[in-house]
Amino acid sequence: MAVRAVRGAVPLERDEADHMDEQVGALLTAILERNGLTADDLISIWFTATPDLHSDFPAAAARKLGIVDVPLICAQELDIEGAMPRVVRVLAHIESDRPRDRIAHVYLGAAAALRKDIAQ
């Protein structure tokens, strides 16, 4: 079993905790489903949020999905002029037999514009 990394991102329409839980939950669910993963396949997840998001920790959404024994960490994304606002990004480390080129990176909604080269 190899260690792989999965990327993803989701834009938020507004900075509200319930909305963040819903959108980040949708992103994590899509990452798991598109890669044929369960929570047992997760090693760790790194979340970043743009500086305009203050309502909650993105990792809280993972805990609400039942991802409770996986190390999670949140950080602030760089504050780059002109960058897309209200975005949560994910870098998940996983155990998978999939070759690197078969990992499905998930960019939901307008976030697909962030990585047109790998968004699926």
pLDDT single digits (tens) 24-77: 999 999 999 999 999 999 999 999 999 999 999 999 999 999 999 999 999 999
116 and 20 in contact (C-beta within 8 Å)? no
pTM comes to: 0.94
Q: Which domains does the chain have, with CATH numbers?
A: 2-115 (3.30.1330.40)
pLDDT computed for residue 72 by the predictor: 98
pLDDT single digits (tens) 104-115: 999 999 998 887
